[in-house]
Structure 1
Amino acid sequence: MERISSFFSSIWETILIKHQEGLFNTVCLAVLLGLPLLVVLTLIFICCHCCCSRPAKSCQQSEQNKRKKKKKKKDEEDLWISAQPKLLQMEKRPSLPV
Structure 2
Amino acid sequence: MERISAFFSSIWDTILTKHEEGIYNTICLGVLLGLPLLVIITLLFICCHCCWSPPGKRGQQPEKNKKKKKKKKDEEDLWISAQPKLLQMEKRPSLPV
Q: Which moved more, 1:20-29 or 1:36-45?
A: 36-45
Return the alpha-carbon distance in structure 2 between the equivalents of residues 55 and 4 of structure 1: 42
- Note the alpha carbon deviations across 1:3-23, whole angstroms, 9 max, x for none: 322222211111111111111
Identity of paired residues, percent?
A: 72
- Per-residue deviation at 1:45? 2.6
- Note the alpha carbon deviations across 1:30-63, whole angstroms, 9 max, x for none: 11101111222222233334444x4334458527
Give the number of equivalent residue pairs: 87
TM-score, scaled relative to structure 1: 0.62
- Per-residue deviation at 1:74? 1.9
Question: As a proportion of its length, which structure holds more helix?
Answer: 1
- In structure 2, the gaps of 5 or more residues are 87-97
Return the alpha-carbon distance in structure 2 between the equivalents of residues 60 and 32 of structure 1: 37
Return the alpha-carbon distance in structure 2 between the equivalents of residues 30 and 58 of structure 1: 38
Q: Map 1:22-41 to 2 at 5 A.
A: 22-41=22-41
Instruction: Letter of the 2:77 partner, please give it.
Output: D
Return the alpha-carbon distance in structure 1 between the equivalents of residues 64 and 6 of structure 2: 60
Q: Does 1:21 align with 2:35?
A: no
Q: Does 1:47 align with 2:37?
A: no
TM-score, scaled relative to structure 2: 0.62
The runs of at least 4 consecutive aligned structure 1 residues that moved more than 6 Å come to none
Q: CA RMSD in A?
A: 3.2
- In structure 1, the gaps of 5 or more residues are 88-98
